[in-house]
Structure 1
Amino acid sequence: MIARSLVTRAADSLAERYGGALPPGDARALAAAADAAVIAVDGPLAGDVRAALRGAGAVVCDAGREMLVGASVAQLDAARAAVPHAGATIDVLRAALRRSAQKPSPLRLRARTLDVADEARVMGIVNVTPDSFYERVSGVDAAVAKTRAMSAAGASLVDVGGQSYAHWNPRIAAAEERDRVVPAVQAIVDAGIDVAISIDTFKASVADAALAAGAHLINDCSGLSDPDLAGVVATHGAGLVVMHLKGELNKRDPQAYVYEDALAEIVAFLHERTERAIAAGVARDAIAIDPGLEFGKEPQTDLEILERFGELRALGFPILFASSRKSFIGRVFDRPAKELLVPSLATAAIGISAGARILRVHDVEETVQLARMMAATAPERRRALAIAPAMPGTPEAAGNLERSPAV
């Protein structure tokens, strides 16, 4: 007898694999049983809830500040049936588990919609600054040319930035940042390039001007430090990326970058800030989140975030991943930014595997190929692929060899 653990666990995938041999009801039951995880709960659980969970076969453990519950969807459903009055509590656990497993919803960016369910989308970086650490452009024409090239290479978005956040660079005034960003946005819009435009700013006044010029998304690396920013985004009906930040932009204080549980703190921060954005009028389906690699973190924490990245999925928002040529990678390899393409792609692959769906990068063409290759393994994607009859550059492609008949 040979036994193996299936990689495929979703009901639709199981039904497709086994066809008519597996009834739909059985496929759903198997998926519910296989959809198991350890769920961290911030706070105590009532005694009867613990008893119901354990009675359904779940494991419940006290871990100090948190309760840990090891359960499947089927076990949570059984516990809910056993203790109906505790349904709201168990529904919180079930929702976290469900969000961690489901595909992210489309991201609404004003009149545009970014579909991130089956493939990670690439956001190219367009730095219109004189002091960014890598690949900056000078002037409106250069910004348009770079945007056009990135769009042609497969970028779905570009992120236009007018302020470097490196701690060795000074903070600039909002007026100067507007003067850098707004003309670039207007020129990209006027050029008719089919790409969503993101603005890398934390200042409400800069966001307002850029959105008025035609931008679609605000990428706030400060986690809503400006209390007016979310309201501005809401007024324009735009998208918003909320990033986790410990400390302040343009300042570095390694002694303060201490975490008792990094992912617990990041998730709690992002939950509170996204709720704040929604209360200010930003649509839930217009919000993405970013754990803020390197912002208020040292390399050990950045690597821990990569290891545990999937925990962010329980928040239920599309996740932006930004590690391209960052210094934590350079410090791991002791190499400058220009030599970090391969490890940057490796981190992007880790992010995609864990659920990242927007990749903010310098190297668009390579990252698009990475994202498309990873998406191609999904059953529905495999069926829709247009496969070339031969690999370009081979004698067969040149017509010098007889092709084997199709099997």
Structure 2
Amino acid sequence: MLRLGRHVFTDDTTLMMAIVNRTPDSFYDRGATWAEDRAFERVQLVVEQGAEIVDIGGIKAAPGAEVDATEEKARVVDFVGRVREAYPSLVISVDTWRAEVGDAVCRAGADVLNDAWSGADPELVDVAATHDVALICTHTGGAVPRTRPYRVEYDDVVAAAIADTTAYAERALAAGVARESVVIDPAHDFGKNTFHSLELTRRLGEMVDTGWPVLVSLSNKDFVGETLDKPVGERLLGTLAATAVCATAGARIYRVHEVVETRQVVDMAWSIAGRRLPARAIRGLQ
């Protein structure tokens, strides 16, 4: 069982987590959903497309203009409340590493804290426990929030990702987060070069074998762009290829820009792997 705040999912389900950026400078959409109404339209669209989760972020991951906790809360807290009121059954995740922001969005109705920076604020686990919400535990190799990797080295990047994410998961349990509400994420690109992210994709099954549910955030990432020599905006096919590999390995949650395409790839891969029945199977039977 996987429990994300007030929402429960069985172990044979996969979930689409649609990205909603409340930022003026996102690498992918270039501020297309910076305005609150445009962001809400994005929520409406992805819900119609079948996303079970929206992941709302108020700061882009890359270096850029300083955004303090007050500004981050201004971007996301009231918006979370608006989405919660409109969609009571939707899982709301917030992409933040700050405990102060996490506490505010949980009070507004968030179900998940997506800590993309791997416990940079050690009090975030306590916030998740206090509000009984889910926590995404990522691997960044110790990177400082909003910095790019530079000549990062690992003896074994997969072993490092497993060690760090499971240790973070255990810290969450010790703080009082429910076991069924902890998810691990190898965090492609974060604290990694392209070879590291390819290795994590190829060996994702090793993370799945830990028993913790695995989230992957592959959508339009630099490792896809560098592998295929494609700019942002032309990385969909590469993203879907990586998605198929991770789905075959058993990843449970997919953080995406393109919901419909990803859902079809994941469903097909899970059916090939024998984890999901076809939607219908009448060929040769009638």
- Are the aligned partners of 1:151 and 1:193 in contact in 2 as well (CA < 8 Å)? no
Between 1:280-289 and 1:188-197, the stretch displaced more is 188-197
The range that moved more, 183-192 or 315-324, is: 183-192
Among all aligned residue pairs of Structure 1 and Structure 2, give the percentage whose two residues are the same amino acid: 38
What's 2:20 paired with? 126
Count how many residue pairs are aligned between Structure 1 and Structure 2. 283
Q: What is the CA deviation profile of residues 89-143 of structure 1, one whole-angstrom value per residue up to 9, with x for unaligned ones?
A: xxxxxxxxxxxxxxxxx2212221133x224211000001011101240222222
Q: Distance in 1 between matches of 2:93 and 2:191?
A: 23
When the two structures are superposed, what TM-score results if normalisation uses the length of structure 2? 0.93
Please list, as runs of the form range in 1=range in 2, the aligned pairs for 1:7-406 lying within 5 A after superposition: 106-115=1-10, 117-135=11-29, 136=31, 137-167=33-63, 169-192=64-87, 194-246=89-141, 247-255=143-151, 257-377=152-272, 381-382=276-277, 385-386=279-280
**Secondary structure at 1:337 match in 2:** coil
Shift of 1:178: 0.5
CA contact (8 A) 1:127 1:161 kept: yes
Residue segments in structure 2 that go unaligned for 5+ positions in a row = none
Match of 1:356, SS? coil
Residue matched to 1:66: none
Identify the structure with the greater helix proportion: 1
Letter in 2 for 1:120: T
Deviations 1:317-349 (A, max 9, x none): 110001100111111222111001101011111
CA contact (8 A) 1:171 1:250 kept: no
Amino acid in the other structure paired with 1:150: V
- Structure 1 residues 295 and 380: alpha-carbon distance in aligned structure 2, compared to 1, 3 A threshold: closer
Distance 2:146 2:91 in 1: 27
Residue 374 of structure 1 and its aligned partner are, at CA, apart by: 2.7
State the 1:281 CA deviation.
Answer: 0.7
Q: What is the rounded CA distance, in whole Å, between the counterparts of 1:120 and 1:328 in structure 2?
A: 23
Q: Hey, what's the Cα distance between the residues in 1 that align with 2:217 and 2:275?
A: 28
Distance 1:381 1:270, change over 3 A: closer
CA contact (8 A) 2:112 2:136 kept: yes
For 1:268, give the aligned amino acid.
A
Question: What is the deviation of 1:301?
Answer: 0.8
What is the CA RMSD across the aligned residues, in angstroms? 1.9
- TM-aligned CA distance change 1:212 to 1:297, over 3 Å: same
Q: Tell me the amino acid that sits aligned with residue 85 of structure 2.
A: D
Letter matched to residue 54 of structure 2:
V
Distance in 2 between the 1:253 and 1:194 partners? 38
Tell me, in whole angstroms, the C-alpha distance in 2 between the residues paired with 1:314 and 1:377. Answer: 19
Supply the distance in 2 between the matched residues of 1:375 and 1:107 (Cα, whole angstroms). Answer: 18
Q: 1:173 to 1:272 in 2, by over 3 A?
A: same
Classify the secondary structure of the residue corresponding to 1:373. helix
CA distance in 1, matches of 2:149, 2:232: 22
TM-score (norm 1): 0.66
- Once residues 168 and 233 of structure 2 are traced to their aligned partners in structure 1, the CA distance between those partners, rounded to angstroms, is 34
Question: Residue type matched to 1:132 in 2?
Answer: S
Shift in Å, 1:273: 1.1
Per-residue deviation, 1:239: 0.4
Q: Does 137-146 or 316-325 show the bigger shift?
A: 137-146
